[in-house]
C-alpha cells in the first residue's frame, strides 16, 4: 500500500496522530529531501529506511518503489512540507501506483494554500488554486485570463519573484483590488498582509526584511 502522508508546513506540532502512527508502521518512507524529513522523523522518534524521491528522480526510481509496493511493502510518501502531490513530484508516483492497481491511501492534514485561504477573509466557497504563475512563457496570457475571474484565486510565489508578481498585478488588475499575502505560514514570524494590491506592493517594496520565505497570494 502507498500512503500519502501530509506533514507540517513548518511547525512540527502540526501533524495528526494517524500520520505519526502510519509513518511508524510502514516499511519505508519516500521523501523529497532525506535531511529535511529526518528533522520531523527524529522529533517523533521514527526510525525507518528513507527513499530519496524528488523532482529529478527518474523512471528507474519510480519503478523501484512500484516493485517494492507490488511485493507487499507498505510505503509512505511525504513531501518536504504539506501534502504530497500538491506542488511536489508526488503526482508521478501516485499515478503510476494506481495504474498498477496498488492501493493508495491519503492521510490528510495541512497544505499552505488552504491554510492561507481559510485565514484570508476572502470568499473561500468558490476558489481556484493555480500553484505558481508561469515565469515567462504563458505568464501574460494567464494574467489576462485572470482579469475575468469570478472566484478567489490562490497562488504560490517565491521570495525571488514576490515583488515582481505584485507589480504585474498592478498592471493587469485594478490597483484597489483587495489582496492577501501570507508568508512564513505556521512559523514564528507568520504574517498576513491585507489591503489593496498597491498597498501590499508598497509594503513589500519598502520592507526588504519582510521579503523572506515562501508566499501565498490570495485575491
pLDDT at residue 87, rounded to an integer? 67
Q: What does pTM read for this prediction?
A: 0.81
Strands 215-218 and 152-157: antiparallel
Predicted confidence (pLDDT) per residue in 186-203, tens digit? 988 899 999 999 999 999
Predicted confidence (pLDDT) per residue in 15-31, tens digit? 999 999 999 999 999 99
| Neighbour-count burial for 177-214, b at 16+ CB within 10 Å, e otherwise | ebbbbbbbbbeeebeebbebbbebbeebeeeeebeebb
Cell of 109: 492534514
Query: What string of DSSP letters covers 2-53?
Result: EEEE-B-SS-TT---HHHHHHHHHSSEEEES-HHHHHHHHHHTT----EEE-
Locate cell 523532482: which residue? 55
pLDDT at residue 142, rounded to an integer? 93
Predicted confidence (pLDDT) per residue in 50-109, tens digit? 998 876 776 788 999 999 999 999 999 998 888 888 767 788 899 999 999 999 999 988
DSSP helix/strand/coil, 82: strand
CA distance 116 to 119: 5
Amino acid at each position: 500500500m502507498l500512503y500519502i502522508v501530509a506533514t507540517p508546513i513548518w511547525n512540527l506540532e502540526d501533524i495528526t496522530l494517524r500520520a505519526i502512527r502510519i509513518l511508524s508502521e510502514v516499511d519505508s518512507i519516500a521523501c523529497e529531501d532525506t535531511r529535511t524529513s529526518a528533522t520531523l522523523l527524529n522529533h517523533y522518534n521514527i526510525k525507518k529506511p528513507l527513499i530519496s524521491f524528488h523532482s529529478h528522480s527518474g523512471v528507474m526510481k519510480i519503478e523501484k518503489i512500484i516493485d517494492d509496493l507490488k511485493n507487499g511493502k507498505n510505503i509512505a510518501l511525504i513531501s518536504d512540507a504539506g501534502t504530497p502531490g500538491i506542488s511536489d513530484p508526488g503526482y508521478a508516483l501516485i499515478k503510476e501506483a494506481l495504474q498498477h492497481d496498488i492501493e493508495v491511501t491519503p492521510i490528510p492534514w495541512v497544505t499552505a494554500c488552504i491554510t492561507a485561504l481559510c485565514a484570508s477573509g476572502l470568499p473561500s466557497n468558490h476558489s481556484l488554486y493555480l500553484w505558481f504563475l508561469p515565469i515567462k512563457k504563458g505568464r501574460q496570457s494567464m494574467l489576462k485570463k485572470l482579469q475575468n475571474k469570478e472566484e478567489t484565486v490562490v497562488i504560490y510565489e517565491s521570495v525571488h519573484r514576490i515583488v515582481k508578481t505584485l507589480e504585474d498585478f498592478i498592471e493587469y488588475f485594478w490597483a484597489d483590488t483587495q489582496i492577501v499575502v501570507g508568508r512564513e505560514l505556521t512559523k514564528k514570524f507568520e504574517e498576513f498582509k491585507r489591503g489593496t494590491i498597491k498597498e501590499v506592493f508598497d509594503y513589500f517594496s519598502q520592507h526588504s526584511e519582510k521579503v523572506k520565505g515562501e508566499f501565498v497570494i490570495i485575491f
